[in-house]
Amino acid sequence: MANSSENKVQHWVPQCYLRQWCDMSIPKGYTPYVWLYSKDWATQKRKAPANIFAENELYTVEMQNGIRNLYIENGLSKLETSYSKIVSKIVRNESLIKDDHEVLCVFIAAMRARTPFQRDHMQDHWGEVLGMMESMQSQYEETTHKPRGSMSRTEHVSDDISAFSMKEVKRLAETPLQEMLPTMLSVQTSILLQMNISILYSISKARFLTSDNPYVLFDPESNKRHWMYRGGMGFDTVEISLPITPRHLLLLTWRELPPYIDITRKQVEMFNQRHWAYARNYVVSNSEINKPSWISDDSYD
């Protein structure tokens, strides 16, 4: 349990992740910062990782007695500590073991599931479900002529079940991350563990960008499928990418690829373009850069 002020500010893109993009050329004594660009590249800011991509109480579970339960935030913090150790191994070109791969997969799953964008999507979905349930209940009550006192035992049991279901859906609609994040991590990690992980390394001066939405699932064949199946992780053509440093990117595929792959400037720019496209509002660089040529002036028309 936690007191009323502990860990109120909770990051959906972890500080340990963003620190890899801190500008290495900042003067001694300055607070480390990253370069933050709006998606249209119209504005740029220098921001410390502690001050971006966070919300108050994003994962806090509020108990009935008013106590703040931080078990999700604390669990994510432990995951981030383990992840940071593995990234250090990758930077030192050390071999990874099976446990390292498992931690990377959990971290990647978390980067997909823990965002406010995912929360908003789930709130919309469960809000619609709750609205339908409330409408059905209202119609039922309007068309039922029996007094409540004359209902049979069976009808009372049915009402209790319906009430419990609506309470569950109401919680899902109001706090979906608190209710579903552990389950989502378990399901998605089980799929990621079946995929092949490659570490891409930039051999040129080009550096990987990241963003406020670093997890990217890209499927070049998705537009050929029914909309219900777009975004699925199980199709052969799916690629999941996550930059982990300005020079390293994790790539998960269903294809057999080498565990370490050197890539060129052109390939780095291809992934940067992909991650810019999936960013919500901001992209992150480890240095001041000009607007990339692949961002056209009519990108937002």
> What confidence tens digit (pLDDT) does each residue in 74-133 have?
999 999 999 999 999 999 989 899 999 999 999 999 999 999 999 999 889 888 888 888
What mean pLDDT is predicted for residues 3-12?
84
Q: Of how many residues is the chain composed?
A: 301
- Chain centroid to CA 240: how far? 12
DSSP of 135-195: HHHHHHHHH--S-GGG--HHHHHHHHHHHHHHHHHHHHHH-HHHHHHHHHHHHHHHHHTTS
Instruction: Please tell me whether the overall predicted TM-score, pTM, comes out greater than 0.75 for this model.
Output: yes
Q: Is the confidence at residue 276, as pLDDT, over 50?
A: yes
pLDDT score at 36:
98
Place 158 in a pLDDT band, splitting at 50, 70 and 90: very low
DSSP of 71-138: HHHHHHHHHHHHHHHHHHHHHTTPPP-HHHHHHHHHHHHHHHHSSHHHHHHHHHHHHHHHHHHHHHHH
Distance (Å, whole) CA 271 – CA 273: 5
pLDDT score at 13:
98
> What confidence tens digit (pLDDT) does each residue in 173-229 have?
899 999 999 999 999 999 999 999 999 999 999 999 999 999 999 998 888 887 777
Distances (CA, A) of 207 to 20, 23, 141, 200, 271: 12, 12, 62, 11, 10
Distance (Å, whole) CA 287 – CA 182: 35
Distance (Å, whole) CA 16 – CA 218: 25
> What confidence tens digit (pLDDT) does each residue in 228-267 have?
777 788 889 999 999 999 999 999 999 999 999 999 999 9
